[in-house]
């Protein structure tokens, strides 16, 4: 059995060979701080955010697409893999994605977390490569392709050809950083204390990085920072734009920087084909236009951008046998453990 695992900062998605996508859950886990007992995970744990007692903690154990709480990540991976592979008789091979710029220690932490389930083999693939496969790019040919995978924890920018990354860059501030800025703004401007789930809902509902003709509003609810009582505020899309614009601009500038370092031949291919953006953050209003303005190159948002990485991993399963046998030097899979 071969399994494609997109262990993301915000969501974990899993595909099994021949079955397609079978799991799409938030990368959240809750536990009892006194007994260290795991209580809930996924959607059920996400609903508990900001609604627990002092005894229970709800945690996103990954930050910027790398492991922050190794023991909790191991628990989370084991729970998800048990959902799709209940039998220990068949030891699966797992293909997982990693950020483009990652240290050997961080790679080993991801491999150890997956290996704790008892798998036969762990293989790794950069998230930008997986996203390219997922949106139909042919990165195995001698033709340049540029894909930007914008997630909650990071934005991976890569120019790819012949199964490898020619020029790449990873930005560690993305969707989660925007949520934090919205939380700070609500406290600073409206004396309103809100949680991560409310900030994320606000961003998804009215978030934009370009001025719009029609102003939209969203009601954020929380606690009055002065009186300590329940309070709500109707916030405008123009306010959110001012709060999150700098983070989006940094990503757009980083894309332009990668283009400046790209060889002329590959740059010509990109100019012809354009740039493809994927990931949940690519759905943010105005993001495509912002990148186009920064690069003067046509930008396309992939179909079902949130699923591009896991779909690409699923397609890349075909390369596992070659990677294990080391038959193809152009194999896109980074490492075999």
Concatenated DSSP letters of 124-161: EEEHHHHHHHHTT--TTSSS-EEEEEE-SS-EEEEEEE
CA–CA distance, 205 with 203 (Å, rounded to integer):
6
Residue 292, SS3 per DSSP = helix
4, burial (CB in 10 Å: exposed 0-12, middle 13-18, buried 19+): buried
pLDDT at residue 325 tops 80: no
At 225 the pLDDT is 94
Q: Do 308 and 149 touch, CB atoms closer than 8 A?
A: yes
| Residue 88: band (very low, low, confident or very high) from pLDDT cuts 50, 70, 90 | low
Same fold, 136-173+245-303 and 175-243: no
pLDDT at residue 87 tops 70: no
pLDDT at residue 55 tops 80: yes
Quote the DSSP letter at residue 19: T
The structure tokens 């409206």 sit at: 190
Q: Alpha helices, DSSP H only, in the chain?
A: 42-46, 70-84, 104-115, 127-134, 175-190, 196-206, 237-260, 264-273, 287-295, 308-316, 320-325
274, burial (CB in 10 Å: exposed 0-12, middle 13-18, buried 19+): middle
Distance of CA 39 to the CA centre of its chain: 25
CA–CA distance, 165 with 159 (Å, rounded to integer):
6
pLDDT at residue 89 tops 80: no
CA–CA distance, 152 with 327 (Å, rounded to integer):
36
pLDDT at residue 287 tops 70: yes
| Side-chain half-sphere exposure of 71, counting CA atoms within 13 A | 5
Report the pLDDT averaged over residues 245-249.
96
Q: Is CATH 3.30.420.40 correct for 2-130+310-336?
A: yes
Mean pLDDT comparison of 72-81, 114-123, 243-252, highest-scoring range: 243-252
215, burial (CB in 10 Å: exposed 0-12, middle 13-18, buried 19+): exposed
Distance of CA 303 to the CA centre of its chain: 16
At 143 the pLDDT is 93
At 269 the pLDDT is 95
pLDDT at residue 49 tops 70: yes
Superfamily the domain 175-243 falls into: ATPase, substrate binding domain, subdomain 4 (3.90.640.10)
Q: Give the architecture (CATH level 2) of 136-173+245-303.
A: 2-Layer Sandwich (3.30)
Q: Do 319 and 333 touch, CB atoms closer than 8 A?
A: yes
Instruction: Mention every residue, 6+ apart, whose C-beta is less than 8 A from residue 159.
Output: 144, 145, 146, 165, 166, 167, 168, 258, 259, 262, 266, 270
* Percent of residues, the chain, with pLDDT higher than 90: 63
Report the pLDDT averaged over residues 174-192.
95
Mean pLDDT of the chain: 90
Report the pLDDT averaged over residues 200-205.
95
Task: Please state which of the ranges 79-93, 123-137, 241-255, 283-297 shows the lowest mean pLDDT.
Answer: 79-93
At 71 the pLDDT is 87
At 252 the pLDDT is 96
pLDDT at residue 255 tops 90: yes
Q: So where are the chain's domains?
A: 2-130+310-336, 136-173+245-303, 175-243
């Amino acid at each position: 059995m071969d399994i494609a695992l997109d262990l993301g900062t915000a969501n974990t998605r899993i595909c099994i060979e021949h079955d397609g996508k079978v799991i799409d859950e938030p990368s959240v886990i809750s536990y009892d701080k006194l007994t260290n007992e795991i209580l809930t995970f996924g959607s059920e744990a996400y609903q508990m955010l900001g609604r627990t007692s002092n005894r229970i903690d709800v945690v996103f154990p990954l930050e910027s697409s790398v492991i922050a709480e190794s023991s909790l990540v191991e628990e989370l991976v084991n729970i998800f893999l048990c959902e799709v592979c209940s039998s220990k008789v068949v030891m699966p091979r797992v293909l997982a994605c990693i950020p483009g710029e990652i240290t050997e220690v961080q790679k080993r932490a991801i491999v150890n977390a997956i290996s704790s389930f008892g798998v036969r083999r762990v293989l790794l693939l950069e998230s930008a490569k997986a996203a390219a496969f997922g949106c139909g790019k042919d990165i195995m040919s001698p033709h340049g392709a540029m894909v930007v995978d914008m997630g909650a924890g990071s934005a991976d920018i890569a120019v790819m050809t012949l199964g490898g990354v020619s020029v790449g860059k990873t930005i560690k501030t993305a969707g989660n950083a925007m949520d934090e800025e919205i939380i700070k703004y609500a406290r600073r401007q409206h004396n309103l204390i809100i949680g991560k789930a409310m900030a994320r809902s606000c961003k998804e509902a009215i978030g934009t990085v370009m001025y719009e003709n029609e102003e939209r509003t969203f009601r954020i609810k929380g606690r009055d920072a002065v009186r300590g009582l329940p309070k709500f505020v109707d916030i405008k899309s123009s306010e959110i734009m001012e709060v999150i614009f700098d983070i989006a601009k940094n990503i757009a500038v980083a894309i332009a920087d990668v283009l400046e370092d790209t060889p002329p031949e590959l740059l010509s291919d990109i100019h012809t084909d354009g740039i493809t953006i994927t990931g949940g953050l690519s759905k943010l209003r105005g993001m495509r236009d912002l990148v186009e303005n920064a690069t003067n190159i046509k930008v396309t948002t992939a179909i079902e951008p949130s699923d591009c990485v896991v779909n690409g991993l699923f397609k890349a399963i075909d390369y596992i046998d070659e990677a294990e046998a080391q038959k193809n030097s152009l194999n896109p899979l980074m490492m075999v453990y």
